[in-house]
Amino acid sequence: MFHDLDAIFVFRMRSELHQTQNQIEYFTQRNGEIRAELSELTGNKQALEKFAREHYFMKRDNEDLYVFFASEE
């Protein structure tokens, strides 16, 4: 009978631990970026307008808006 902690199990767990640590590092960094962006948007009206125009295609009343999407071919 094999023991539950055989070499393959230990290797898989170390691999999973490494992957999880990488994800924690990525999401911690991304969280900081998002918090900085949120701070900028809530404190700067021009940055908020730029964000709305770029992400939601918002426009002023006296403007026409044309959106072009590039083909991946």
The answer as to whether 69 is a domain residue is no
Tally the domains of the chain: 1
CA-to-CA separations, 65 to 10, 35, 48, 58, in angstroms, rounded: 57, 30, 18, 8
The answer as to whether 43 is a domain residue is yes
Gap between the terminal Cα atoms of the chain = 57
Residue with the larger pLDDT of the pair 22 and 50: 22
The answer as to whether 2 is a domain residue is no
The answer as to whether 48 is a domain residue is yes
Range of the domain at 28: 7-56
Confidence category of residue 21, pLDDT binned at 50, 70, 90: very high
DSSP per residue over 14-49, as a string? Answer: HHHHHHHHHHHHHHHHHHHHHHHHHHHHHH-HHHHH
Global pTM exceeds 0.95:
no
The answer as to whether 71 is a domain residue is no
